[in-house]
Structure 1
């Protein structure tokens, strides 16, 4: 599993990689030439890149290769310029290399290939590069979509939620916190989304409806204990009855109503996108 994403910070593929890391909460970094110069101006401070002592982009490319376990290059067509120099530096320093040529492979297959490559070679620090926006105006969005898809695939493939650690054994300090009082199914869903780790949200979003039932033994217990408060929250139970059009719901059945509504919401916001 990737622990850090690094790049050179140039507009295009490099910044797409950094933006994905920021969005998904993955640590990021890398080296940029002296002055933090990019083709569009000074690199914004939100990108936590270190400055090289030289203005040479060639040196910056090499240092990012050296500091990584592997380099991923994404392009449309053959490599040229800085992207091709990255390839040469990877070979020089004997690091792992994967070149995704989007003119030769479908984006979803590329995402699967990236995921498999990272797993096979145990890539922890991943250097990502490719063309600048001036060389390929569509590269930024393509890289964003593929990297996000690769990330969500990595969460879905093993089908393992962190529910046992997060929901079955809540943190000790949570037991002394004030009771959570949610009055409606929608309120309960929004609360769960804020509490669930991203991995859980992404994985649950890609479940089929038939795969939801076992969650009532983990997430369902959490809902009954912390949202229904062991029978004390009659308003939430009434909301579940209204939503399900069943006036005789048990707390277990009501918890599953919330789980289904949570799943429906996550299917919209976190489901794996089929990129093209």
Structure 2
């Protein structure tokens, strides 16, 4: 079974931008919502990201919209406890009664857990998010690496 997901993500530095960069690298369909004003800011995301700008500068609005537009949410953190925007994403997924998988650096076999989560819930539109790079440096690179491994597992399956 080849990798057949649409990735939904915002434009927060770290996991979200790493996930979007990863989709561009592999020509994987993607989209998502970002906060109002970000597309024109000095930290504007890559123009190739297929993002929609929200009507507010409140990050919770963007998170809520991304959770709504996806079938499930995948949250990456360094620490075992999600905080900040990562915790808001977990809370929004639960509030909207959507499946959520929180993975962190202390878990073994993360890519296998991601594949099992996708299989269990028959996910085709996945919201990928996590802590921002300023809070947990290096998290984006780790998340992209785990997505790469999960894609490799899925790509090896027969259709």
TM-score (norm 1): 0.54
> What are the equivalent positions in structure 2 for 1:56-135 lying under 5 Å apart?
56-77=58-79, 78-103=81-106, 105-106=107-108, 109-135=109-135
Name the SS of the counterpart of 1:116 in structure 2. helix
Measured in 2, the distance between the counterparts of 1:98 and 1:39 equals 31
Name the SS of the counterpart of 1:99 in structure 2. strand
CA RMSD of aligned residues (A): 1.7
Check conservation: 2:67, 2:127, Cα contact below 8 A.
yes
- Which residue of the partner structure matches residue 266 of structure 1? none
**Distance 1:116-1:39 versus aligned 2 partners, 3 A rule:** farther
Structure 1, unpaired ranges of 5+: 162-276
Offset at 1:3? 2.8
Matched length: 156
Measured in 2, the distance between the counterparts of 1:28 and 1:47 equals 8
- Which residue of the partner structure matches residue 11 of structure 2? 9
Query: Larger RCO: Structure 1 or Structure 2 (Cα < 8 Å, ≥ 6 residues apart)?
Result: 2
Structure 2, unpaired ranges of 5+: none
Measured in 2, the distance between the counterparts of 1:30 and 1:102 equals 25
**Distance 1:115-1:40 versus aligned 2 partners, 3 A rule:** farther
Offset at 1:18? 0.7
| Greater gyration radius | 1
Measured in 2, the distance between the counterparts of 1:64 and 1:81 equals 16
Structure in which a larger fraction of residues adopt strand: 2
Runs of 4+ aligned structure 1 residues displaced above 6 Å come to none
